[in-house]
Structure 1
Amino acid sequence: MDELGSAAPAGGNGAIPRPRLEDVAARVGLSTASVSLVLRGVPGPSERTRQRVLKAAAELGYRPDRTASALASRRSRLLGVMVAIHSPFHAELVEHLHTAAEEVGYDLVLSALTPNRDENTAVETLLAFRCEALILLGPLAPASVLADLDRRAPVISVGRRITGAELDAVRTADDDGVGQIVDHLVGLGHRTIAYVDGGKGVIATDRRRGYRSAMRRHGLDEQIGILHGDITEEAGEKAGRHFLDDGELPTAVVAYNDQSAIGLLTAFRRAGIDVPGTISVAGYDDNTLSRLAAFDLTTVSQNAEEQARQAVTAAVERLDQGRTTPREIVLAPSLVIRGTTARPR
């Protein structure tokens, strides 16, 4: 007999049967309906009852059968998340999305973007898994395509401003964030401040505009210098080599994101250029790598935790509360000053 009082199946492989809802109910002396309310997080049972049920479920190793629940309710309670697999910032967003989704009784399905796997493939995979809503991290598809997709399942765009379509969006004010970096550098005394671009897309456009506007606001129109780049460390390192080959370094460089900024740091340090003594460097995102002592990167925080919470809230409002009017949540970015920026020599 096992500890639940159930014998292993005769002639079987000796595996212990999976604990059932009925086993948890029997352990605490409650109905299966009451136990189900607790395990689904539904208000009603007392705190004492809730703790007893959760303790019994943990002791028995009970795990809800999501497939059976979905079939019974005709709902999957799954939120699909499209994520760029090489983005540390997206990885942090996913961590916070998991927490926010679990708090409201949902789970996530992830579908990755890779150099060989485009947005359409990633999204169709999520729909094939019966995801009820789609949370798209930094989507590049045209607004019209996202609007068509929204008619199949609620779409929440995270990180990107949406124009030309009525969609839910959660983002920070990217132009303001880059402007804060430029303000910080100018306040330190910098005048020749270059910018390494992030390529195509709305997010890149907004950050580039923020750089231009801030430079003009400080009367530095003639010092505006934008170098082509993209979202990767490799692009940042290439930009760093370009500055070195050019022979005349700016006193500061702002990169589209932290990954690009880390590439810049790599190129400068390999060449023996002191950062921030000779040149200051700043990124954007405040991802986990930027906080490491090896980089100690001045950057801009997008508040990943709050973006994730707002995105899940938007999805739940669409699915469970029937909201149809689109909402845009714009969070204020905040400058994070670390060790890669200082007064110019």
Structure 2
Amino acid sequence: MADVAAKAGVSRALVSIVFRNQPGAGQETRDRVLRVADEIGYRPDNAARLLARGRSRALGVMFTVRQTFHADLIEGIYAEAERHDYDVLLSATTQGRGELKAVEALLSHRCEAMILLGSESTPAALGALGQRIVAVSVGRRMPGSQIDSVHSAEGKGVRQAMDHLVEMGHRRIVHIDGGRGPGSAERRRAYRAAMRRHGLDSEVRVIPGNHTEESGIDAGRLLVTERDGGQPLPTAVLAANDRCAMGLLMAFGRAGVDVPGEVSVIGYDDSHLSHLMPVGLTTVRQDAVLMAEHAVRFAVQRLDNKELEPQEAVIDPKLVVRDTSRPPRTT
């Protein structure tokens, strides 16, 4: 700022007034100061200015780098954060970079609050984090953790998918579960409950998996191997999520299994991948925009009032029927 002031022939205080867009400088002076700043390549450091006031106005977001649904959530978070005049900083978990490193990176950049997408940490660990910084969990229920949470009604989404399949005449319905992934336990319980409710206890089968394409590929290969050994294929599969469903479709395609002619497939999330597949994926939509809006609002509200009771937003999912589900050839 001193360099700008010297070259523009004004005081440093006047340069500060111009950069802060405060009254006290005429238009000609403002134009000259901004022109000089542009010529010498000076840009006001807004981050430093905010930190000097004890604020960063930055929301940190922890996400998993390969989870396509997280990309949809992040897009919504950016839009809502901008409406509240907050910036967004991202930190990813990968196969070699766990949640602890991702969170510590955000803390080191002085984020005022943290939004955790699909965290697999224990409620106790998240509760401890909530004692250090305002935190919001997105994608899983957090009973007793004392932090805000946003998630979809997992059981309702699974019931919609199962009712759709059973009403079409499916009986041999397999579920590839999501392991320890967010929402997986609720989806697994809802699948078993739906099978019992429809009188299909003897057909219940859960194949262990996770929220990756590799999980779907492995499950598909298993089912194809069983078919080649004389065991019939299921007539429908409820996958852990859209990525898992994509892997399953790949495995079935390589083995010549017709989807949905032989096997119907349903995913979960309605991530942008479900629209890009050659065959439109029937899936359960989680409203990424609405979830993102709630997460940002919860964070901003708690920054304004740390005494608020923990808030929980439960978003209704919706089954989206596309091309990968149809009545079975034989019931």
1:117–1:24: structure 2 CA closer, same or farther, 3 Å change rule?
closer
Q: Is the 8 A contact 1:197 1:227 kept in 2?
A: yes
Instruction: Give the corresponding residue for 1:76.
Output: 56
In 1: Cα distance, 2:6 partner to 2:326 partner = 69
Say which of 14, 17, 31 aligns to 2:23.
Answer: 31
Say whether 1:171 aligns with 2:163: no
Q: Is the 8 A contact 1:256 1:283 kept in 2?
A: yes
In 2: Cα distance, 1:306 partner to 1:62 partner = 39
Say which of 116, 119, 127 aligns to 1:136.
Answer: 116
Gaps of 5+ in 1: 1-5, 11-18, 34-55
1:102–1:179: structure 2 CA closer, same or farther, 3 Å change rule?
same
Instruction: Give the corresponding residue for 2:169.
Output: 189
Residues 298-345 of structure 1, C-alpha deviations (whole Å, 9 max, x = no match): 001110000000000000000024442101110111111110000110
1:23–1:191: structure 2 CA closer, same or farther, 3 Å change rule?
same
Residue 289 of structure 1 aligns to which amino acid in structure 2?
L
Instruction: Give the corresponding residue for 2:196.
Output: 216
Instruction: Give the corresponding residue for 2:11.
Output: none
Q: Is the 8 A contact 1:289 1:295 kept in 2?
A: no
Residue 296 of structure 1 aligns to which amino acid in structure 2?
G
In 2: Cα distance, 1:32 partner to 1:154 partner = 38
Q: Percent identity?
A: 49
In 2: Cα distance, 1:7 partner to 1:215 partner = 75
Aligned positions of 1:1-345 closer than 5 A: 22=18, 31=23, 65-201=45-181, 203-247=183-227, 248-345=232-329
In 2: Cα distance, 1:251 partner to 1:62 partner = 65
1:32–1:185: structure 2 CA closer, same or farther, 3 Å change rule?
farther
What SS does structure 1 have at the residue aligned with 2:314? strand
Pairs aligned (count): 303
Instruction: Give the corresponding residue for 1:52.
Output: none
Q: How far apart are residue 21 of structure 1 and its match? A: 6.9
What SS does structure 2 have at the residue aligned with 1:149? helix
Q: Is the 8 A contact 1:197 1:208 kept in 2?
A: yes
In 1: Cα distance, 2:103 partner to 2:172 partner = 43
Greater relative contact order (CA < 8 Å, ≥ 6 in sequence): 2
Q: How far apart are residue 72 of structure 1 and its match? A: 3.3
CA RMSD, Structure 1 to Structure 2 (Å) = 2.5
Q: Is the 8 A contact 1:252 1:281 kept in 2?
A: yes
Q: Is the 8 A contact 1:262 1:295 kept in 2?
A: no
What SS does structure 2 have at the residue aligned with 1:250? coil
Q: How far apart are residue 69 of structure 1 and its match? A: 2.6
Gaps of 5+ in 2: 9-14, 26-33
In 1: Cα distance, 2:303 partner to 2:172 partner = 50
What SS does structure 1 have at the residue aligned with 2:269? coil
Q: Is the 8 A contact 1:299 1:337 kept in 2?
A: yes
1:238–1:323: structure 2 CA closer, same or farther, 3 Å change rule?
same
Residues 24-79 of structure 1, C-alpha deviations (whole Å, 9 max, x = no match): 95xxxx7279xxxxxxxxxxxxxxxxxxxxxx9xxx99976322331332100111
Deviant stretches of 4+, over 6 Å: 6-10, 60-64
